[in-house]
Amino acid sequence: MPDQRVLDVSTGIGEAALAALPIIGASGMLVGADIAPAMLEGARERLNNPHFHPVAADGQALPFKNGSFDAVVCQLGLQFFPDPARGLAEFQRVLRPGASAAVCVISTPDRAPMWGLLAEALGRRIPEQRQVINLSFALADPRRLRSLFIEAGFQDVHVEQVEREDTTESFDEYWEPIESGTGSIPQIYLSLGEAERRAVREEVKTQLSRFVSNGRLVMRVEMLIGRGSARRPDNDPYVGRSDGLRDVVQNETLELAKIGDQNASFDSQLLEILRCPVTNALLEYDSVAGELISRPADLAFPIRDSIPIMLTDAARKLGG
């Protein structure tokens, strides 16, 4: 297979990215996007691979040129987007025509007890946080996930419910990432006082005892895997346009290559596909300030520790 450009949205500390790395090829490119820059630091350290490019970005406003990727994956992230339809529309936009996106989300709490029981115990104690807690299960309806893909313009849409068995050596091993706050529900757990945390732990431990087999926790977990292909050329949004938009888009690549050459310190391969998340317009790289400038949006996006922070709330107003 030729070299591939893959985008892992909501990459977190790179769980899905790690799995994608072997398929991208010798000069392929794997971009990990996440709204939390701290997660990306973790991903970069974990993957430790020059083909991995972390970018801080909101999955609902991706800072990439149309048709940049050969595949988009998003594992356990889409359900947290305030507007998942917008997220999927963005996945479709940044895919090359005919290329696929695959999304993995959690099923209902009863079909995913490893998270469902903790969510239930927390929701009862902090009812005002129940909505946030339940976000983890927000896309558990396969019909809804399918409609979201179709409405985003994907073709050949499939949604399957996949069950797998998950074995953890002990309850303590299961609890360790919760105690260290890995994930949105554990973060809410950590906001409780110590006595309440202990009570939640005991409650979940009792509930999980029915899954203990030979001292190990053996649980079945259901996930939904949704996938679809981006519009093919017969539905090409540029077809029939007389405003020369396609030429503008194609020329952008040349323009950016020039900027990239002048600024060898910033990854030119990444610079070629990066765009303003607000206007989708070209960016200029300011090597002195370490910023990516979007003139039409009047914003400068910082680059921190070589990670472009393409988030509007992190950007500086140019006029100011």
Ligand X SMILES: C[S@@+](CC[C@H](N)C(=O)[O-])C[C@H]1O[C@@H](n2cnc3c(N)ncnc32)[C@H](O)[C@@H]1O
In the bound complex, what is the minimum distance in angstroms from residue 210's beta carbon to ligand X? Answer: 25
Judged on CB neighbours under 10 Å (0-12, 13-18, 19+), 20 is buried
**Residue 77 interacting with ligand X (CB under 6 A):** yes
Q: What angle, rounded to 10 degrees, do the helices at 171-179 and 194-208 form?
A: 140
Compare residues 10 and 294 and give the one whose CB is closer to ligand X: 10
36 binds ligand X (CB under 6 A): yes
Stretch near ligand X under the rule CB under 6 A, chosen from 57-65, 90-98, 173-181, 287-295: 57-65
Question: Exactly one of 5, 6, 7, 11 binds ligand X (CB under 6 A); which one?
Answer: 11
Q: Interacting stretch for ligand X, rule CB under 6 A, among 11-19, 139-147, 173-181, 222-230? A: 11-19
83 binds ligand X (CB under 6 A): no
Give the 3-state secondary structure of residue 198. helix
**Residues from 179 through 218 that contact ligand X (CB under 6 A):** 183
Rounded CA-CA distance 304/12 in Å is: 17
Query: How many whole angstroms separate alpha carbon 192 and alpha carbon 121?
Result: 12
Q: How far apart are CB 250 and ligand X at their closest, in Å?
A: 28
Amino acid sitting at position 39: M
Query: Tokens in use for 88?
Result: 């999927």
Contact flag: residue 59 with ligand X (CB under 6 A): yes
Closest distance to ligand X from the beta carbon of 320 (Å): 26
Q: DSSP state, 274?
A: B
Residue 105 · residue 226 · CB < 8 Å: yes
Specify whether the backbone of 319 is left (phi greater than 0), alpha (psi in -120 to 50) or beta: alpha
Residues across the chain: 320
Q: Is 70 in the site for ligand X (CB under 6 A)?
A: no
272 binds ligand X (CB under 6 A): no
Q: By CB under 6 A, name the binding residues for ligand X.
A: 9-12, 15-16, 34-36, 39, 58-60, 75-77, 80-81, 183
